[in-house]
Structure 1
Amino acid sequence: MIRTPLRPLARILKAREQGQNPDAIEAENKRLRHEDDRDRSRLQAESRLLVMGVAFFCAFLVIGARMGMLAGSVPEEPTAQASGSPIIGQRADIVDRNGRVLATNLDTHSLYAQIPDMIDPAKAARELAAIFPELEEDELLEDFTGSRRFLWVRREISPEQMQAVHDIGDPGLLFGPREMRLYPNGSVAAHILGGATYGREGVNSAEVIGVAGVEKFFDDALRDPSRGGAPLELSLDLTVQAASERVLHGGMMLMQAKGASSVLMDVHTGEIISMVSLPDFDPNDRPRVLTAADNATDQSDSPLFNRAVQGVYELGSVFKIFTVAQAIELGLINAGTMIDTQGPLQWGRFRIRDFHDYGAQLSATDVIVKSSNIGTARIAMMIGGERQRDFLGQLGLLEETQVEMVEAPTGDPLLPPNWSEISTMTISYGHGLSSSPVHLAAAYSSLLNGGTRVEPTLLRQDGPQNGPRIVSEQVSAVSRDMLRAVVTEGTASFGDVEGYEVGGKTGTADKPRPTGGYYDDRTIATFASVFPADDPRYVLIVTLDEPSVEALGEQRRTAGWTAVPVAAEMTRRVAPLLGMRPDVETATPTGVTLTSN
């Protein structure tokens, strides 16, 4: 900016020539300069005030809008943001098909020690040992007085224990919030649920992860925040599961069995309504895996072992219906075809015998009803090994099941290394091939539901699976008639339940020795049943491990004396729970005749 001089030389000289005062010129120029500075400062101040006014208006407008949004929103607790991978402490519930809770979460607290902040370690150790009897006072004192700075005392404590620790009054004993996995029904469905434990842990949260069963199989889904906490709905019915466990436990005790399992499956949807393995455990206090220190020769001795899924056994004569059904489907025989049952049947150094002498011939139906090994083996020879293997594969008996449990792959069937002719003969009546009760339930469902393949599942389904066809509807109906005859006329006479028209097949197989060969006094007894036989809805498999009961003055180990009555009682108990009314004919009065006058 060019400023005007206060005493311009030209004006000063001119004023002197005219006799005027040159100082007046300077005074006038100062006045004009001051007025110019004043006007410029006022304009600048007014501009700043305008900018500040606009800024304040915008600020108040934003604050007002934000306050309005907060007033109209749902209040939420603030969450701290931190870098790194967060610990996801939330886990969805697991419910049965009717929405009843099988597994849920319970808010609790953990107890930990910040050792540098402790005032009286000796008193704290003494008081903690009194509150928690499983803790040793000497060990706690050693930890509290050593070089450690942090110590987990208990991962979970009750409110009463929390108050007792609080009363100790030591500032080094602190509590952290966390969720624990709770199974409100105790041991009911223990093998299916599996159990959970803690993964990554922090003082303010802990990661709950599945360790077995559906808890581990669906671990990612149960911990997925995007599901919004939606529960995992299983196909199980809690009341049916509890009733099945009670009946099977009573039967196992009565039959003096080492273990037992049962599977109840919907023949059309493949839904597992109940699945029991005994002995069992409480997933709230899951036992540890057996080790060499426990002198355990077999993990199947552990209550953690799921006999229904992991237990692969030679299931015996329950396989015979597959052989006869395939032969009828292939057109080789029909239900009335007479089969040579003259025995023993010799193949090389092997001899196949029947439990009783059934004479020279039996019809195909009677081969099933009387459970003839020789008759079944001769039918298998008509079929041939290649076709037999293909048919059993279609039924799902040669591969692991797809049931939603991490244990399923460990229940892979045991097949003969060489599917020879003798293997074809023995497999036809359930020896030489080992599979699990879940395999058997799926195979029976596929054969008897009209002849279409179903896969076992623990998830609730909206309708039938409508899998590939295995046998015709006619062959399926003939198979059901044969199994009904086994109950009414054959080896499963104790299996009849009035009003439910049960059909089924018994199977008794000698247990193999670990060193080879078979035990003479140890068996696996199985009863595979379907009800109602005329319009099947459910398949029930009951298996007893090493049963033995005294009846009619003898020790009985066969399925007809052991597994069958247990399965009958289970059907009697659970069928009403499934909404099935017994079909019982109404008695009509006798000896009274209505006449008219």
Structure 2
Amino acid sequence: MIRTPLRPLARILRARERGENPDDIEAENRRRRHEQEQARARRRAEGRLIVMAGCFLLAFGTVATRMGVLASSDAAEPRAQVLSGQIMSQRADITDRRGRVLATNLLTHSVYAHPHQMVDPVGAARGLARIFPDLDVERLTRDFTGERKFMWIKRKISPEQMQAVHDLGEPGLLFGPREMRIYPNGDVASHILGGSGFGNEGVSSAEVIGVAGVEKAFDAWLRDPANEGAPLALSIDLTLQQAMEDVLWSGMTVMNAKGATGILMEVASGEILAMASLPDFDPNDRPRPLLTGEPSDSPLFNRAVQGQYELGSTFKIFPVAQALDLQLINPSSGINAQAPMRIGRFLINDFHNYGRELSATDVIVKSSNVATVRIAQMIGVDRQRDFLEKLGLFVPTPVEMVEAPTGQPLVPTRWPAVTAATVSFGHGLAASPLHLAAAYATIANGGRRVTPTLVHGRQRPEGEQVLSPRAAAMSVDMLRQVVTRGTARQAEVPGYEVAGKTGTADKPRASGGYYKNKVIATFASIFPASDPKYVLIVALDEPETTVNGTVVRTAGHTVVPVTAEVVRRLGPLLGLEPITDEKLPTVAARFEPRVEPATEAAVRLVSNQ
């Protein structure tokens, strides 16, 4: 902007010529300049007022619009709630198949401290150490007399402990309400339930989350308000679970075993009625994981699901059942059992000398490694591997536990002839006892694939037909004869027709190789044999007992008597009526044994090798 001078020279000169006062010219120009500045200031002020009026108009218009929307909408409860409202009472109970509570919630309190509000911090530290012996009085004193403004004392306390803290009379010790997860049956089914802990937490509430087992596998479902607090019904039966754990604990003690596991499964549905792993723990006070040693040294280790074991001779029924299904043999077919047997640079031998030939049934009854390998050779490597894969022995079990994926079977990457031979009698492929239970349940279920589950009453698609019903029935009959006249005579429980197969496998070292005097002893059983309803797997880790002054570790002398006691205890609880008619026909008698002419030639060829 160009400013007009107050005393323009030209006008001053003309005014002097006319005799006028030049100061009048300056006064007039000063007045005009002042009026111009006032006009500009007025325009700026008016603009600001217009902008401010527009802002107020927009703000009040927005508020009025929102009020109108709320006034015209239907009334509803607000969705946003405080943290305690989101957390408290939202985790559903867990029950057994009969509705008995396995896990529930209990209202309790936490105790925390505001050290800056304490009257006697040293006395408070001493008092808390008396109430909670695991607290360090010196550390508490340092914390209470330091710069800390807040600290947790205990996240869960009993009503008696709460009263004792209250009696200290210290205003800096405060309580917060919260729900905690409790397991009223203590260590019963601890590995199945897993346990819980606190997630997001504040002084007035805490979020309960699952940390293992079904608690973690179903964490989202248990916390979902849409379920309206409906309990999660597991397939296990609390009475059966308790009875199995009691018997296993006694058997583990008597047989001097390091650990034990047991699985009772319903054949028709795959529902697990009881599943135990010992030693176990109390989920109300879940121990910390071990950081050194073998995983199985920890009570948290679930042997039934996470254990990867070479299950020994329990596998022998698989090649025999497959050969029956392919009609390569029948129960009376003669199989060459001449030992030792050489495959490449490896020799395969038997525990006893069984002579030159055994019937297919006696291969199972007497548990011949050599004869089992002969049958596996008749099947062929590719068909053997495909059959084991169909039984589910190559992938983790789909059971509803977060630990299930860790139970990945150890399957050979290559499958040469020697691997096919050793796998046929349960060595070279490591799987969990739950894998074994599912495979035996498939045989007991007429050859239709069974998938294990821990959820009661859930509808699932029918499994694949892995074996013909005829082959499956004859296989069960062979397993029955193992108990009546074979290596598992001590498993005979009058009235319950137990059928099964023993397995004793050397325990592998973590560094490679096998222990010379440590084994995994397993007995896989089906009962009653004439109408299979249940599969029972029992395994002992490093058992040994004394027979006639000699230390023995074989399954027939260790795990088989324990299994018999389990059946004896659980049979009546299952409501099974003992079978008293000793003249019942065998399962296989419903089928005419037959072998195709070409197959008979193949059997003779193998028998004469």
- Contact kept? 1:89, 1:208, Cα under 8 Å: no
Q: Give 1:78-157 correspondences, 5 Å limit.
A: 81-82=81-82, 86-87=86-87, 90-157=90-157
Task: Establish whether residue 439 from structure 1 lines up as the match of residue 446 from structure 2.
Answer: no
Q: Which runs of 4+ in 1 moved over 4 A?
A: 82-89, 462-465
* Structure 2 CA distance for aligned equivalents of residues 127 and 277 of structure 1: 41
- Contact kept? 1:269, 1:465, Cα under 8 Å: no
- Matched residue, 1:284: 284
- Contact kept? 2:323, 2:375, Cα under 8 Å: yes
Q: Which amino acid aligns with 2:385?
A: R
* Match 1:315 to one of 311, 330, 341: 311
- Contact kept? 2:93, 2:231, Cα under 8 Å: yes
- Matched residue, 1:412: 408
* Match 1:382 to one of 363, 378, 382: 378
Shift of 1:85: 11
- Matched residue, 1:57: none
Shift of 1:89: 5.8
RMSD after superposition:
2.2
- Contact kept? 2:84, 2:206, Cα under 8 Å: no
* Structure 2 CA distance for aligned equivalents of residues 132 and 80 of structure 1: 38
Q: Report Cα offsets for 1:157-177 as digits up to 9, x if no partner.
A: 111111111111122111100
- Matched residue, 2:487: 491
Q: Give 1:194-343 correspondences, 5 Å limit.
A: 194-292=194-292, 296=293, 298-343=294-339
Shift of 1:417: 2.2
- Contact kept? 1:87, 1:200, Cα under 8 Å: no
- Matched residue, 1:565: 561
- Contact kept? 1:340, 1:362, Cα under 8 Å: yes
Q: Report Cα offsets for 1:92-119 as digits up to 9, x if no partner.
A: 1100000001111111100011222222
* Structure 2 CA distance for aligned equivalents of residues 95 and 540 of structure 1: 23
- Contact kept? 1:88, 1:223, Cα under 8 Å: no
Q: Secondary structure at the match of 1:505?
A: strand
Give the length in aligned residue pairs.
Answer: 511
Q: Secondary structure at the match of 1:564?
A: helix
- Matched residue, 1:554: 550
- Matched residue, 1:176: 176
Shift of 1:83: 9.0
Identity of aligned residues (%): 63
- Matched residue, 1:18: none
Unaligned runs of 5+ in 1: 1-61, 63-68, 70-75, 587-597
Shift of 1:217: 0.5
* Structure 1 CA distance for aligned equivalents of residues 304 and 403 of structure 2: 10
- Contact kept? 1:89, 1:206, Cα under 8 Å: no
- Matched residue, 1:531: 527
- Contact kept? 1:269, 1:463, Cα under 8 Å: no
* Structure 2 CA distance for aligned equivalents of residues 492 and 569 of structure 1: 13
Unaligned runs of 5+ in 2: 1-70, 583-609
Shift of 1:79: 10
Q: Report Cα offsets for 1:420-455 as digits up to 9, x if no partner.
A: 111111100000000000000000001121110010
Task: Establish whether residue 513 from structure 1 lines up as the match of residue 506 from structure 2.
Answer: no
* Structure 2 CA distance for aligned equivalents of residues 380 and 149 of structure 1: 72
- Matched residue, 2:38: none
Task: Establish whether residue 189 from structure 1 lines up as the match of residue 194 from structure 2.
Answer: no
- Contact kept? 1:216, 1:406, Cα under 8 Å: yes
Q: Which amino acid aligns with 2:343?
A: W
Q: Which amino acid aligns with 1:106?
A: L
* Structure 2 CA distance for aligned equivalents of residues 79 and 342 of structure 1: 78
- Contact kept? 1:94, 1:103, Cα under 8 Å: yes
- The TM-score, its normalising length taken from structure 1, stands at 0.83
- Contact kept? 2:214, 2:400, Cα under 8 Å: yes
Q: Secondary structure at the match of 1:180?
A: strand
Q: Give 1:381-400 correspondences, 5 Å limit.
A: 381-400=377-396
- The TM-score, its normalising length taken from structure 2, stands at 0.81
* Structure 1 CA distance for aligned equivalents of residues 457 and 496 of structure 2: 24
* Structure 2 CA distance for aligned equivalents of residues 517 and 126 of structure 1: 55
Q: Which amino acid aligns with 1:441?
A: A
* Structure 2 CA distance for aligned equivalents of residues 466 and 497 of structure 1: 32
Specify whether residues 192 and 444 from structure 1 end up closer, same or farther in structure 2 by C-alpha distance, changes over 3 A only: same
Shift of 1:84: 12
Q: Which amino acid aligns with 1:510?
A: D
Specify whether residues 136 and 542 from structure 1 end up closer, same or farther in structure 2 by C-alpha distance, changes over 3 A only: same
Q: Secondary structure at the match of 1:528?
A: strand
* Structure 2 CA distance for aligned equivalents of residues 467 and 558 of structure 1: 34
Q: Which amino acid aligns with 1:537?
A: K
Q: Which amino acid aligns with 2:259?
A: G
Task: Establish whether residue 502 from structure 1 lines up as the match of residue 515 from structure 2.
Answer: no
